[in-house]
Amino acid sequence: MSEDAPADPVQGAEATNETQPKVEKGEPINVVVKDQHGIELHFKVRKTTKFDKIMKAYCDKKSFQLNQLRFLYDGERLKPDQSPEEVEMEDGDVIDCVMQQIGGH
């Protein structure tokens, strides 16, 4: 299940925003979003792309609402306004996607 399409327009937007810095800064990496059942979805994003875009693309793809899902990178919550660069993510790293947990009885 590989899916590169959602990330493509994202890259374009990012590239136009930062004009003068070198292109290498936003070099693309592969990010894998893995759900509880171990099903993976691959995204190709720039290191400077906010997770917001990945999360939204994932939700669209899987027909979830954003507030139903939690995205974890090595056990830490990812915020939408962070980017792979900030959390020192490398090529091929896995983001865990878990459903929200509610319990009463």
| Residue from the set 29, 31, 78, 89 that interacts with other proteins by CB under 8 A | 78
| Footprint of other proteins on 21-40 (CB under 8 A) | 36-37
| Residue from the set 13, 15, 66, 98 that interacts with other proteins by CB under 8 A | 98
Q: Are 18 and 48 a contacting pair, CB within 8 Å? A: yes
Helix (H) / strand (E) element for 31: namely: strand 28-34
Closest listed residue to residue 68, CA positions, set 38, 105, 98 = 98
Interface residues toward other proteins, by CB under 8 A: 36-37, 67, 70, 72, 74-79, 82, 96, 98, 100-105
